[in-house]
Homo-oligomer: A and B are copies of this chain.
Amino acid sequence: MSMLREFQTIGYDLFVAGLNNSHSGNMSIRVNRMMAITRSGSMLHRLEYNDIVETLIDGEDSESARASRERPVHRAIYLQTGAQAIVHAHPPQLIAASFFCDKFEPVDAEGRYFFPTGIPVVEVVNAIASDEVAAKIAPLLKSTPVVIVRGHGTFAVGNSLEDGFHYTSSLEHSARIASAYRANSNSR
């Protein structure tokens, strides 16, 4: 599958599954010393050729300004971990749950299988595209495939966008189950 097609497929699926709204989230793939990252302001579910920006991981070039605002976070992750791809999304049930815990712990079997020790939630003062986010989450992503920025969303890493999508989709599914679990528990 071509790289553009991989961006398009995963971007579309994130939207259809309710993991992003029309313009939220961003994705990137490591390509040697460069990253291919979604354009600032692009709609991940309707990506076109011009929406993928190839820019240096470490340093500025003529394309940097077109990249997603979250590029500093992607840069820090690529510099500090072995991630080959990054998916940032806004899964609503996880975001809501993140206000109430320092670690998201699934109650369902699949969630416990993939995330046996839970997923860390980090608190930041400035959640959007900040150096603070970069500094706090990049080190964590050496030992966990996903981090939740409290009240903001997820950063998931892996060998491909599909990996990042997998972790994001699975975790939000667990958060939906956990939410329904609490509703059941309270109404009986």
Give the residue of B43, B93, B184, B188 whose beta carbon is less than 8 angstroms from that of A180. B93
Q: Does A3 contact B (CB under 8 A)?
A: no
- Mark out the residues of chain A between 1 and 57 whose CB falls within 8 Å of any chain B CB in the assembled complex: 9, 13, 15-18, 21-24, 43, 45-46
A113 nearest CB neighbor, chain B only: B128
Number of interface residues of A (CB under 8 A): 52
Expressed in whole angstroms, the Cα–Cα distance for A151 and B127 within the complex equals 31
CB distance from A49 to the nearest CB of B (A): 14
Question: Which residues on B sit within 8 Å (CB–CB) of A18?
Answer: 17
Q: Does A179 contact B (CB under 8 A)?
A: yes
CB distance from A72 to the nearest CB of B (A): 15
Question: Which residues on B sit within 8 Å (CB–CB) of A21?
Answer: 17, 169-170, 172-173
Q: Does A95 contact B (CB under 8 A)?
A: yes
Question: Which residues on B sit within 8 Å (CB–CB) of A13?
Answer: 15, 22, 45-46
Count of this chain's copies in the oligomeric assembly:
4
Expressed in whole angstroms, the Cα–Cα distance for A45 and B162 within the complex equals 13
- Structural contact, A184 and B173, CB atoms closer than 8 A: no
Expressed in whole angstroms, the Cα–Cα distance for A18 and B13 within the complex equals 12
- Mark out the residues of chain A between 164 and 188 whose CB falls within 8 Å of any chain B CB in the assembled complex: 165-166, 168-170, 172-173, 176-177, 179-188
Q: Does A108 contact B (CB under 8 A)?
A: yes
Expressed in whole angstroms, the Cα–Cα distance for A180 and B95 within the complex equals 9
Question: Which residues on B sit within 8 Å (CB–CB) of A180?
Answer: 92-93, 95-97, 179
In the complex, 21 of the A-B residue pairs with CB atoms within 8 angstroms, ordered by the A residue number, are A21-B169, A22-B162, A22-B165, A22-B168, A24-B173, A92-B176, A92-B177, A92-B180, A95-B108, A96-B180, A97-B180, A97-B184, A100-B188, A108-B151, A108-B152, A109-B128, A109-B151, A109-B152, A179-B183, A186-B186, A186-B187
